[in-house]
Structure 1
Amino acid sequence: MASTAPTEIRKLVATRASTNFREVVQVVTVPTPEPGDGELLVKNMFLGINASDINNTAGRYFSNAEYPIDTGFEALAEVVSAGPNAVYKPGQALIYLQSGAFCDYKIVKAATVVPLPAPKPEFLPFILSGNTAAISLDKVGEIKSGETVLVTAAAGGTGQIAVQWAKLAGCHVIGTCSSDEKVQFLKELGCDRPVNYTRENLKDVLTKEYPNGIDVIYETVGGDMFDTCVESLAVHGRLIVIGVIESYESKKDYVLPKALANLPSTLLVKSASVRGFFLKQFGSDIGPYMKKQVQYFSEGKLKSFVDKGEGTASGPFIGLEKVADAVEYLYTKKSKGKIIVQM
């Protein structure tokens, strides 16, 4: 059943620029907006947590941002009411990718949402994390059956999909993680060679076990990890830069990896390449790839794991007041799958 909107809604805003998410966010109350032409008023059911939530509060995406700014990027919701020319009916489950998602109700454009068969939280990883993995591996990494693919931070929200997407394409997959528990998790996803980098030296593993190098690398970490990845590229290898999570919490700007000093010669002798990926620039692929993931999930070809923080000291993540806990939890490297907050 569709819900009825209250007269006021709550949202989480950042009051100034900082990488300390908890320090600068607060819940504010505003009048409930009415959906206009082609718009929907939706009630958020689950919010997605991303490493880039800190980049947003730090002002790294909008250098001229005027604070306070809305926070959050993605949510799974249900339609409460629709404006003229908005084709969805109250009660329809959907997912959307839009700035300001950390709220209880929100106005979204009907043309930009993706309808869902049911409001399952397991669908939430697909639109941002999953699309980042699937689209980048296909369109930028150009993965092919039989190739070797390395996924860094493989047990995270986007890593879990990257591992499986590469396996679905017929690739041999290596995945990095930070614990033996995550090694087992990666094996359950089908990862051929999980590497717990707290126990094994990744560079040594790649050198000994993959002497011909790695064809495609899905890199989200930066720093020393980026250096190792560049050095491990195969002839015609492709490294996809998805993020630089190692530096997001830093008050300084991104730290340049050491490998950049020798990057031209390193790539030249291997005819290799380093390629960037930013989901916003692949907007036309978001809907189709989201639907493809939902289909694969429904067919049992793709698994989706969400982490609601049940095992954390502060308990499960429920409500806007728990968003800061969830963001900080992401940086503890203890989560498995996509971190979400239930509303």
Structure 2
Amino acid sequence: MVQPRKIMCQKLSTNFRECTAIVPFQVPALKPGEALGIVLDVVTKLKKGDAVASTSYGTFAEHLVSKERFLVKVPAAVPEVLPIIVCGLTASMALEYVGHMTHVETALITAAAGATGQFAVQLAKLAGNHVIGTCSSPDKVEYLRSIGCDRPINYREEKVFDVLKKEYPRGVDLVFESVGGRMFEACVNNIARNGRITVIGAIAGYQDSSTWKHKPSKATTPLPSKLLAKSASVRGFFFNDYFRESQAHTKKLTALV
């Protein structure tokens, strides 16, 4: 069986043979990733030379064999397109199909300076909404302002709950939530009447499961009662369930690049 190997420098020397060694190594696991490239072989709908992108296994490679239904046609195989395929599409489809984003509303984006959050901020602003974004540093505050965020909140310097309660007493109409834990609790406690909370993740607990272990204080009104009192809703978004819509949203997003 062929074993992957690499050349490794093991010590300083003017003798190439002495300072190097050929050693075995493990290639990255075949986890899902993003791929961007040119069609090399004939398929049914696409044609040779088309630029395509995909989320697939085995993308750490020079060539990839993929079923056509998992490919999305893009204008060009350029680096600027690749972030759209997961992060951009997640923001665009979640806001439209789950968040039912309109315009002239107040939208809260958590982890707003992150890969997906920054797409959500810009799309919400382009739609004509007032956008609030949470982040973790002064640099990110400035970055969020530069992409159109109306009210960045550095949660290391300000309490998100207090800012929302004081500056947005009516509540927020739409939440794009990816943090979980206390951040999710702050979103629920400050949702407006008929508000919608779209959950795309829970990054606060990915390493230590804290999101799932977090329990609101006993004095807190149960979640169903809070939602019921305001005719509000919480819905999840999972990318694979909306993949059929990805081509239309890819076209929309690439036109903005």
Q: TM-score, normalised by structure 2?
A: 0.83
How many angstroms does 1:120 deviate by?
2.0
Q: SS state of the match for residue 107, structure 1?
A: coil
Other-structure match for 2:108: 150
1:82 equivalent in alignment to 2:19: no
The aligned amino acid for 2:123 is W
Q: Which of 206, 215, 221 is the aligned partner of 1:258? A: 215
Other-structure match for 1:278: 238
Other-structure match for 1:268: 228
Question: How many residues matched?
Answer: 232
Q: Bigger radius of gyration, 1 or 2? A: 2
In 2, the alpha carbon distance for the partners of 1:95 and 1:84 equals 15
Flag the 1:159–1:266 CA change in 2: closer, same or farther, 3 A.
Answer: same
Flag the 1:86–1:94 CA change in 2: closer, same or farther, 3 A.
Answer: same
Q: SS state of the match for residue 26, structure 1?
A: coil
Q: Which of 62, 70, 85 is the aligned partner of 2:30? A: 70
Other-structure match for 1:203: 161
Other-structure match for 1:182: 140
Contact 1:174 1:194 in 2 (8 A): yes
The aligned amino acid for 2:114 is G
Flag the 1:96–1:203 CA change in 2: closer, same or farther, 3 A.
Answer: same
1:117 equivalent in alignment to 2:75: yes
Q: Which of 152, 156, 159 is the aligned partner of 1:194? A: 152
In 2, the alpha carbon distance for the partners of 1:26 and 1:161 equals 34
4+ runs deviating over 4 angstroms: none
Flag the 1:234–1:181 CA change in 2: closer, same or farther, 3 A.
Answer: same
Stretches of structure 2 lacking an aligned partner (at least 5 in a row): 5-24
How many angstroms does 1:261 deviate by?
7.1
Q: Greater shift after overlay, 155-164 or 99-108?
A: 99-108
**RMSD of aligned C-alpha atoms?**
2.2
Other-structure match for 2:121: 163
Q: TM-score, normalised by structure 1?
A: 0.63
In 2, the alpha carbon distance for the partners of 1:145 and 1:237 equals 13
In 2, the alpha carbon distance for the partners of 1:104 and 1:253 equals 38
How many angstroms does 1:262 deviate by?
1.0
Contact 2:109 2:117 in 1 (8 A): yes
Other-structure match for 2:13: none
Q: SS state of the match for residue 82, structure 2?
A: helix
How many angstroms does 1:102 deviate by?
3.1
Q: SS state of the match for residue 238, structure 1?
A: strand
Contact 2:108 2:172 in 1 (8 A): yes
In 2, the alpha carbon distance for the partners of 1:268 and 1:87 equals 48
In 2, the alpha carbon distance for the partners of 1:84 and 1:237 equals 45
In 1, the alpha carbon distance for the partners of 2:192 and 2:245 equals 28
1:26 equivalent in alignment to 2:44: no
Flag the 1:261–1:107 CA change in 2: closer, same or farther, 3 A.
Answer: farther
Other-structure match for 1:287: 247
Contact 1:71 1:102 in 2 (8 A): no
Q: SS state of the match for residue 196, structure 2?
A: strand
Tell me: higher relative CO, structure 1 or 2? Use CA pairs within 8 A at least 6 residues apart: 1
Stretches of structure 1 lacking an aligned partner (at least 5 in a row): 1-7, 11-24, 29-68, 298-343
